[in-house]
Structure formats: C-alpha cells, structure tokens
Amino acid sequence: MQPMAGVAPFDDPRYLFEPWWPGVRALAWIDDGRLVRLQAEGLADALTSFAELADELPGRLMDDGVVLDGWLLALDEGGWLDSDLLRRRLAGDRAAGRPGFVASDLVWSGGEDWHGRRFAARRARLEAVLLDGDRCVVSHALRGEGTLLAEALARFGLGAISARRLDARYRFGAAGEGWLRVPIAPAEITERPRLALIQRLPLEESDTG
C-alpha cells in the first residue's frame, strides 16, 4: 500500500493521524514464534541488519501468523532518530545505532488475511496483539486531530504526518484517499517585520508656490 501526497494538515474524525516516521517502511513476518522476514521497502530482507528485532518482536506479540506494516528506524545514543545511522544499518553495519520498529498497521493475524478489513479493525487488532518493547512499539496516533499532531511534530522536528482513513481497506499499490502523506507547513510567522523606511519625496514647485 502506497500513500498519496496530501496538501496540508487537517482535522477529520474519519482519519487516524500519526507521525510520518523518517525511516524505511517494512513488512515484518512473524510465524511459528519467529521473525522470519523483514522486507524493507525497495530492498531485500533487512533481517540481518536488524537482527535484534528477531530477539524481541516475536516475544512482544500475543499472536502468531502475523504480518505487521511499519517503519524501521535507527536511534542514536540520545534516543533520537538518525537517518545516517539508519543508512549504515541497512548497509550492513550492525553497530550503527540502536534499531527500532514502529508498527502502524497489521496485514495478517492468527494466520488470517486481514487485508479486506477496515483500518480501524486492523489497527485495533494491532494494539491488542503487540505490546510495547524496548525496540518494537505501536506508533502513537490521534484520531481526527491532524493539525494538533502537526503542531506537536513541528516541535519534534518531523516533517510530515500520516493520515489514514479508518474505513479504508488495505490496498496493494496506491492507497488513494485511504492514506495520505501530509507535509507539515513551517510555523506561521506571527509578527511580520515592518517597513521602517519612509522615503521623503521632493515637493512639486506648485505645492511650494
């Protein structure tokens, strides 16, 4: 499922808003209590580069036969997102930062295909089966309050939010209105600089007359 580009943050109770995490989108396959595949967007299996997730993710799941849709991230020593560390991780440097997986959606659960169900149900299922761990969490999200989340993320230094229709089904390819990537506009300048220079024009002769 691929998002469409949004224009600006908005409020709509039909949408669930969450950060657009600056990572690499990935599908995580968990079967027989093992993380068997970690398919990163546009790349081969990232399981080797993010091997720590194989130690934690299956243990935090209350279900089996699960496919999660989320983001692979790399954190620096201060716990902040670092795209350079992520690139190094994906290039095979397992010492680069600490890995993280933020789950946003659930595609399979209990060995059943959840593609056809609405996002609200998939998301509720995701929250029910994945317990937060040190490296794997469900993404923080707000229903309906896109502008509020955008304000919060602007302080957070992130550049976009994800807006998903709660009634949308998981679609392969373009998601249409079901999923938008909405850029966060720069903060408004409340006090504009004032024009301080007033040029005095020479008076016409007739005026001086």
Partner 1 sequence: MARSMWRGAIQFGLVTIPVKLYLATEQGGIGFNLLHASCLNRIQMKVYCPYHDEVIPRSETVRGYEYAKGKYVVVTEEDIDSVPLKTVRAIEIEMFIGASRDAAGTQFVKQAYYLEPEQIGAKAFYLLKSVLAEQNKSAICKIVLKDREQLAALNPFSTTMLLTTLHWPDEVRSMEELSLPEDQIEIKASEKKMAEQLVASMTGDFSADDYADDYRQALMAVIERKVAGEKPEPQARAEPTNITDLMAALEASVAAARTERSAEKAAGSGKPAKATRASRAKKAPKADAEAEEAEAPRQRRRKTA
Q: Does residue 174 interact with partner 1 by CB under 8 A? A: no
Q: Does residue 124 interact with partner 1 by CB under 8 A? A: yes
Backbone angles phi, psi at 55, to 5 degrees: -75, -30
**CA atoms within a 13 Å half-sphere pointing along the CA-CB vector of 50:** 34
Q: Does residue 64 interact with partner 1 by CB under 8 A? A: no
Q: Does residue 127 interact with partner 1 by CB under 8 A? A: yes
Backbone angles phi, psi at 119, to 5 degrees: -60, -35
Among 48, 51, 59, 156, interactor with partner 1 by CB under 8 A = 156
Among 6, 29, 82, 117, interactor with partner 1 by CB under 8 A = 117
Q: How many residues bind partner 1 (CB under 8 A)?
A: 54
Q: Does residue 47 interact with partner 1 by CB under 8 A? A: no
Q: Does residue 143 interact with partner 1 by CB under 8 A? A: yes
Contacts of 160 (CB under 8 A, 6+ apart): 19, 20, 181, 182, 183, 184
Q: Does residue 89 interact with partner 1 by CB under 8 A? A: no
Which of 191/204 has CB closer to partner 1? 191
Which of 138/204 has CB closer to partner 1? 138
Q: Does residue 54 interact with partner 1 by CB under 8 A? A: no
Q: Does residue 120 interact with partner 1 by CB under 8 A? A: yes
Please state, as a whole number, how many other Cβ atoms lie within 10 Å of the Cβ of residue 37.
15
Q: Does residue 44 interact with partner 1 by CB under 8 A? A: yes
Q: Whole-angstrom Cα distance, residue 207 to residue 196? A: 26
Amino acid at 24: V
Task: Give min distance, CB of 9 to partner 1, in A.
Answer: 12
Q: Whole-angstrom Cα distance, residue 53 to residue 117? A: 27
Among 32, 78, 191, 192, interactor with partner 1 by CB under 8 A = 78
Per-residue tokens: 141: 């999200």
Burial of 91 (0-12, 13-18, 19+ CB in 10 A): exposed
Please state whether beta strands 98-109 and 136-138 pair in parallel, antiparallel, or not at all (unpaired).
parallel
Closest among 166, 186, 97 to 135, alpha carbons compared? 97
The residues binding partner 1 (CB under 8 A) are: 13, 16, 19, 41-44, 73, 75, 77-81, 87-88, 90-91, 98, 100-102, 117-118, 120-121, 123-125, 127-128, 132-145, 148-149, 151-153, 155-156, 166-167
